[in-house]
């Protein structure tokens, strides 16, 4: 399978979703991550890892 670019978002309540456009009003309050992955599940895992690394650096 070939990788493609996914928009993955984390909602304020902690749930994760993918797809859509960054300018989508539903994603206004969300953390947004652009990742390369072969499928949506892998994209969410990569975005969660990216968020974890970013938060570790802040602490």
Q: Where are the domains of the chain?
A: 4-58
- pTM of the prediction? 0.89
Task: Please check the confidence at residue 59 and state whether its pLDDT lies above 70.
Answer: no
d(CA 17, CA 43): 10
Per-residue pLDDT reduced to its tens digit, 6-58: 999 999 999 999 999 999 999 999 999 999 999 999 999 999 999 999 999 87
Cα distance between residue 35 and residue 45, in whole Å: 10
pLDDT reported for residue 18: 97
Determine whether 18 is exposed, middle or buried from the number of CB atoms within 10 Å of its CB (0-12, 13-18, 19+).
Answer: middle
């Amino acid at each position: 399978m070939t990788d493609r670019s996914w928009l993955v978002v984390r909602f304020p309540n902690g749930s994760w979703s993918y797809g859509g456009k960054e300018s989508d009003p539903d994603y206004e309050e969300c953390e947004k991550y652009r990742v390369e992955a072969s499928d949506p599940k892998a994209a969410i895992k990569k975005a969660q890892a990216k968020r974890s690394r970013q938060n570790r650096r802040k602490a």
